[in-house]
Amino acid sequence: MSDFDIGQLPGQSFFCRVIIGGHEISPANIISLTIREWVLDILPRIEIVFGDLGTFLETYPFEDGAEINVTLAKQKDSKDALSMDFYLSDYSVAVKLDNKQYELTVVGIMKADNMFTIKTKSFGKKTSEDVFKVIAKEAGITFSNPNSVIPSDKMTWYQLNQCNYDFIKHILKRSFVPNDCIFFYASSNKKFTYTTLNKEIDKKTVRIAKYNIEQTEARDNPDKDKTLYYNAYDIVNMSGRYNKESNYGLQVKYYDLQSPKTIVYNSSKSLTKLTFKNKNYAGRPVYSMQGGLYNNLNVYSEKYFESLIRNIYLVNNFFAYSVVIQADPDEKVELFDKIDLVLPSILTEEMNGVISGEYLIGGIIHNVQYGSVYKKLISLHRNGMNESPYNKQPIVSKS
């Protein structure tokens, strides 16, 4: 490996090439680079921090929307290099080294056409799938419905002084599939995926993930061994906050010009035996919405208000808790892949039976740091835990 190949950080075990507005950044100047794919984001995002001696800030000043081209790989000749294009959305400047160097932080969003132009139009008697197909075509990104989701939210959708990016978020809050929640996101595969939470939970395809430092770095037989090996992990738990805000149950009260009505939603599908909820409070509404409904000429779907509370509930319920594992950058994983995680136990030689089990991939983070290596972090999610072999009377409720 040569020390100063274009795109190769000196002495580092990864290949990185970054071009902003047609001008390449010297790889030795890159302090950190992070790309995040996330099922709760509409488009992947990037953040780059690099040192600048004036070349960019004074010679090639950035413009809003400048194109960012990134190629990232474990090695320069890797067949599975990550190659993505972004639009610059913001950047900040800090002065370093006695005013002799700038430190630039650049933030971008994946390249997609017509995403931030304000529009005013309507989609009469269309489903969320119909509208998303139109938006995907306008964005120049392939639309995919891999699980053949059939929504039940045919109504009139109004895009009033909204860009497509905000309109997607507006639709996702109100989209309807019975006892389910719709997701619409783009990832590094350069496709818009239209799917639902329960369809992903019900998938039978499961890949086992095991903790093994040696196999993560150099697998013995990668062609035959399909195990996802990881060499580090972290447990992230915010379930307490989400439980108190919405996870025990939601309700909506509204008037439909005939009589007051109340809808309560507090059930969800799980990958585990137990939930994170205290059994004494599970099922009680802790979040309430109010409104009125004038349903004329099928302007609204029949389940309009139920959609508003159910979608909030299912998202907070499932994504409040996660385990993040670090895998080899060449591992091929995609958002919403189903993973059977084997987590080591601190108490015994066996696995941690409470935290191990099935998860869905909610996020994939690609990260390089100067003086470090290319890391692929995988965020695994589910809405509960398994029963402990040591505690026969769990205080949490059954899923």
Q: Where are the domains of the chain?
A: 15-110, 119-198, 203-238+320-398, 240-315
Domain 15-110 fold: Thrombin, subunit H (2.40.10)
Domain 203-238+320-398 fold: Elongation Factor Tu (Ef-tu); domain 3 (2.40.30)
Tens digit of each residue's pLDDT (9 = 90 or more) over 37-50: 999 999 999 999 99
Tens digit of each residue's pLDDT (9 = 90 or more) over 82-136: 999 999 999 999 998 777 888 999 999 999 999 999 999 999 989 999 999 999 9
Tens digit of each residue's pLDDT (9 = 90 or more) over 125-182: 899 999 999 999 999 999 999 999 999 999 889 999 999 999 999 999 999 999 999 9
Tell me if the pTM is above 0.95: no
The two domains 15-110 and 203-238+320-398 share their CATH topology (first three levels equal) = no
Provide DSSP, 229-265.
EEEEEEEEE-HHHHIIIIIS-EEEEEE-SS-EEEEEE
d(CA 18, CA 144): 29
Looking up tokens 């109504």 gives 155
Hey, what CATH class is 119-198 in? Answer: alpha beta
Distance of CA 293 to the CA centre of its chain: 33
